[in-house]
Chain A
Amino acid sequence: METETILSVRDLDVKFTLRGQVLHAIRGISLDVHRGESLAIVGESGSGKSVFTKTFMGLLDSNGSVTAGEIRYNGQDLAGYTTDQQWRTIRGREIAMVMQDPMTSLNPLKTIGDQIEEAIVLHQGLKGAEAHAQVLKVLEEVGIDQPERRSKQYPHEFSGGMRQRVVIAIAVACRPKILICDEPTTALDVTIQAQILQLIKDLQKKYDLTTIYITHDLGVVANVADRIAVMYAGDIVEIGTCEEVFYDPKHPYTWALLSSLPQLGVKGEELYSIKGTPPNLFLEVKGDAFAPRNPHALKIDFVERPPYFEVSPTHKARTWLLDPRAPKVEPPEHIKHLREQGVNRHV
């Protein structure tokens, strides 16, 4: 498949200062996002997946900053952007975002219509009645009935799922090229989750969007992603197509992650969980960050950070186990049968 890179990140470093201590949140990530694809970034809480995508929009908290690397978009290096003015050429207009909790991401004192209209006025150059008409159109698009009446209501008059539709409407109303969905369904009921994911998929097709999902829910990933990037401790440890990562994972962390899928649990046995906690990013991480929790860790894992080893042109992983000199380690039995067990696109 012919791929065109829309956003390209190189050796990105992000650091936060907290009470005089430095937290190294993103440790040299490189990533190419392809136009029109849907990429999922997975990882546990604190792995830096949200922080990573926030750098694309200049939305880091004020105590954090990009300290090295670049973010190429449209021939510009976003990592060098500093002013609100520069970022406004990107935010909404080029890259928009759907956040995790629809209960808090809308302004409680403004009507839904006003909040969508704000985006339309900013990015579609419409005003007054035209803008209002567009608001109704967008509301309809995201599946909200009686848009005229609903547009005059306040967020508290909507359910969680409906609010998330409104948040999506705001994002789409900006007419972006890239849509970042930060845990878009985590705060929602299971029954609503599928509807929201379907809605995003439909809009992606309709508006030719590139979508980046951030999630810790492998079920969501299997449902929507073309490619998967697995993050651990501020780094992408494995990246590949959905098939590759699910059915031929190479990094021990990915194995552990997949092992913790509840669907793989055997009746009567304890569910698998990854032992230990992620490393403290206030301290410098040496070697492979996952090594202390990794039963298959090699001595070198504690000394030297592994480079990426290419498994296929689309699949690479950062683990010494792929080094030709390393002993052969097979992934755990149970995840080898993921395909047979039906953990596929219909999880």
Chain B
Amino acid sequence: MPSFRFKDHKTQQLSQSVGEVLSRNYSESEFFEFAPYDPTAGERGGYSNYSYWGSTLRSFAQNKVAMFFLILMVGILAFTVVEPMLPYAPEANTIYKGATNLAPCKEYWFGTNSIGQDLWSQIWSGVRTSLLIGLAVACVEAVLGVIMGVLWGYVRKLDFLFTEIYNIFDNVPQTLVVIIISYILRPGVSTMIFAMCLTSWLQTARLVRNQVLIIRDRDYNLASRCLGTATWRIMVKNLLPYLVSILTLRMALAIPAAIGNEVFITYIGLGVPLEIPTLGNLIKAGQTVMMESTLSYQLFFPVIILSIITISFYIVGNSFADAADPKNHVK
């Protein structure tokens, strides 16, 4: 007779009926016979079929708000890529003569600006530039952060140096660094990426370094190594999950931060030249006309699109980090 391990309501009902059949068909004496002993049966009831990634994905998928924003985020990303390839998609900077400051209408979905450019295509072009900046910053941060973090953690001689560098630069607000660099160099997309990457990788590097130290020194990893676990396996099993979760979080947050910095720097007058539409440039242009109520849409369309993007990245990043935390994996 098999041991009953009930998986769900159905099997439970089934087992109940099996019980009834048993009691009807078997005499009492048979009940008191030894059941065949299966040493593996005892393992089945346990909690051991745990998979880290499975649980992470499941717990993320259960978060409905996060799923909503994930879909929104993927949709926007896909659309920004696809948009210029759509038929009749106009060049963003095309000026339509006589079509200045038109309110949203059938032809110009988001209206036109003061020199007669179509706001719809301007905004998507701006989103592309801003996301490009954000993604570039996030990637550099991730790559540099991981390499430096591993060096920082593994090479004991470098520890002091890195720690001092970190302690010093952690004092300086990133915005200030971006201002200085943008002031010194010629404004442009690459300047902006460079300025934002200059110090932000330190944060990621420190998180990675701390994790490397844990891998190196924590008792459970020591124990694991004593049992003969290969270093690569410890890395894959213990370092990787953590790395993936901090990297996705840092990257997801780097994008809203980069977009915000871009808007800010543009406002101060150190941003990307006006010919290149960015969210910062569009918002700045919208700001100059926002007090005329018929034109305030020129501020609000870019603001709304920007907010949707930053909010989705922020929520998706944070929810994934939560989902990746094993503490939230209780079955």
Contact = CB atoms under 8 A, between A and B. Distances in A.
Whether chain A touches chain B in the assembled complex (some CB pair under 8 Å): yes
Interface of A: 18-19, 21, 275-280, 282-284, 286-287, 291-304, 320, 323, 325-327
B7 interface: yes
B331 interface: yes
Residue of B15, B23, B30, B45 with most partner-chain A CB within 10 A: B45
Nearest to A294: B37
Contact of A291 (B7, B23, B35, B331): B35
A300 B62 CA distance: 40
Given A299-B35, A325-B29, A18 B46 contact: no
Contact of B3 (A284, A292, A296, A327): A292
A297 B38 CA distance: 10
B4 interface: yes
Contacts of A287: 4
Interface string B61-72: 010000000000
Contacts of A323: 32
A70 B43 CA distance: 34
B28 interface: yes
B47 A280 contact: yes
B29 A301 contact: no
Contacts of A297: 34-35, 37
Contact of B47 (A276, A277, A326): A277
Contacts of A284: 6, 12
Q: Interface residues of B: mostly helix, strand, loop or mixed?
A: loop
Contacts of A278: 45-46
B293 interface: no
B32 A303 contact: no
A286 B14 CA distance: 13
B35 A298 contact: yes
Given A280-B45, A283-B7, A327-B32, A299 B39 contact: no
Interface residues of B, number: 35
B42 A293 contact: yes
A323 B31 CA distance: 11
A295 B37 contact: yes
B6 A303 contact: no
B331 A21 contact: yes
Contacts of B37: 294-297
B237 interface: no
Contact of B42 (A18, A292, A296, A325): A292
A299 B41 contact: no
A302 B3 CA distance: 6
Contact of A279 (B28, B45, B331): B45
A298 B1 CA distance: 10
A327 B31 CA distance: 11
A147 B253 CA distance: 52
A296 B34 contact: yes
B6 A286 contact: yes
Contact of B46 (A21, A277, A325): A277
A303 B22 contact: yes
A18 B45 contact: no
6 nearest A-B residue pairs (beta carbon): A276-B42, A277-B46, A293-B42, A279-B45, A300-B31, A292-B41
Contact of B1 (A19, A280, A282, A302): A302
Contacts of A298: 31-35
Given A280-B47, A286-B4, A298-B32, 16 more contacts: A275-B43, A276-B42, A277-B46, A279-B45, A280-B5, A282-B331, A283-B7, A292-B41, A298-B31, A298-B35, A299-B26, A299-B35, A300-B32, A320-B32, A325-B31, A325-B32
